[in-house]
Amino acid sequence: MSAAWTVGVDFGGTNIKVGLVDRRGRVAQMVRLSTHRAGKPDTFVPAISRTARAMARSVGVRSSELLGIGIGAPGLVDASRGIVHYLVNVPGWRRVPLATRLRRRVGCLVAVDNDVNLVALGEWCFGAGRGSRHLVCVTLGTGIGGGLIIGPCLYRGASGSAGELGHMVLAPGGPRCGCGRRGCLEASIGTRAILRQARAAMRHGAPRLRRLVQAGGGTLMPELVARAAALGDPASRRIWREVGASLGTVLASVVNLMNPDRIVIGGGVANAWRFLAPAMTTALRAHAMDVPARAVKVVCSQLAERAGMLGAAVLVWQHIEERSRLEAGCDATSHERRGGLS
């Protein structure tokens, strides 16, 4: 019974999604926690501990009997040691030994990685990335993130920070980004940038968008910009065309460098896929070299908000498999030294 369950945590800039995942990749339960309330290091660990214990009880096991807890954090992570170095859009995180702290509270394996790495793992195992051997996953939201799977292993780079597509420079000297630099892709097409453009559009017109915002209580969100575009609002459609063109321009460089066979686009902003995809495709084809451009297929996420939780579960399974291989290797070496191998 206990071997069936893993807790997957998708730590986002707005909310933290916690899911109870079985071996077939089904999310049996999901809880949302507010990042504003539970996103600091001193509140995150007890909140995840409480939630994991409650989920374990719901299926009749102790938390220590879970396969483990996987966590995707939105920033720079040392996955080998479970240390969160820095989160761009969530303050207070500097070199936090998250895996160690949480493991002490729950008593089971805890694995931590970058959130988009885990979205990539989730899509690769269960979603739009299945069958790919050279996968790039991009998430569009408060931040812009990337995950890379090559042949077929998660690629983290020399310091564990590979895949930061949102901080590739699109416009040198452009808008200031949350990372402190200027001109990053994230500063041009992240949620804050989209809302900034939408507010400017409403000051000069955009009646459909204005009516949607008023009907929704006055809160402007990217999904309202997508709904206005669906209703034919020219300003909203122009915003999504610009988002698509900027994304496609950066993806062209990724295609030239990585030569992937598939790019999966996810995250909340991807809900406007049908409005941003044409401009994205045009820009990608215009700027990428012909041979790698023909080899790549760009698709929308199939798992939506479940991708990060499922990828977090996959990370736990991979840690368990790696530990089993290491233990088997140690046992074999010990047996050989005792003369047990012919």
Domain ranges of the chain: 2-115+306-330, 128-302
CATH topology of domain 128-302: Nucleotidyltransferase; domain 5 (3.30.420)
Cβ-contact 97, 33 below 8 angstroms: no
User: CA neighbours within 13 Å on the CB side: how many for 181?
Assistant: 13
pLDDT of residue 239: 97
Write out pLDDT tens, residues 2-59. 458 999 999 988 899 999 999 999 999 999 999 999 999 999 999 999 999 999 999 9
Write out pLDDT tens, residues 90-133. 889 999 999 999 999 999 999 999 999 999 999 999 999 999 99
The alpha-helical segments, DSSP class H, found in the chain are: 35-38, 41-58, 98-106, 115-126, 185-189, 191-203, 207-215, 222-230, 234-258, 273-287, 290-295, 307-337
pTM metric for this prediction: 0.88
Q: List the one residue out of 101, 227, 88, 108 whose CA is nearest residue 167.
A: 88
Cβ-contact 184, 169 below 8 angstroms: yes
Check residues 283 and 179 and name the one with the higher pLDDT. 283
Check whether 342 has a pLDDT greater than 60.
no
Same fold across 2-115+306-330 and 128-302: yes
**Mean confidence (pLDDT) of the chain:** 91
Q: Checking DSSP bridges between strand 153-154 and strand 69-73, what pairing results, if any?
A: unpaired
Q: Exposed (0-12), middle (13-18) or buried (19+): which is 121, by Cβ within 10 Å?
A: buried
Cα dist. 152→129, 163, 260, 306, 326 in Å? 11, 15, 12, 21, 20
pLDDT band at 75 (very low <50, low <70, confident <90, very high): confident
| 144-150: strand order across its sheet | 153-154, 144-150, 134-140, 262-266, 297-300
Residue with token string 């920033």: 75
Residue with token string 């368990």: 320
pLDDT of residue 88: 78
- Tell me the two tokens of residue 11: 């730590």
pLDDT of residue 253: 97
- Tell me the two tokens of residue 316: 């736990």
pLDDT band at 330 (very low <50, low <70, confident <90, very high): low
Strand partners, 114: 73
pLDDT of residue 13: 80
Tell me which architecture the domain covering 2-115+306-330 has in CATH.
Answer: 2-Layer Sandwich (3.30)
Write out pLDDT tens, residues 225-270. 999 999 999 999 999 999 999 999 999 999 999 999 999 999 888 8
- Which residues lie below 8 Å from residue 281, measured CB to CB, with a gap of 6+? 244, 248, 298
- Tell me the two tokens of residue 96: 């936090």
Q: Checking DSSP bridges between strand 94-96 and strand 83-87, what pairing results, if any?
A: antiparallel
Write out pLDDT tens, residues 306-329. 999 999 999 999 999 988 888 777
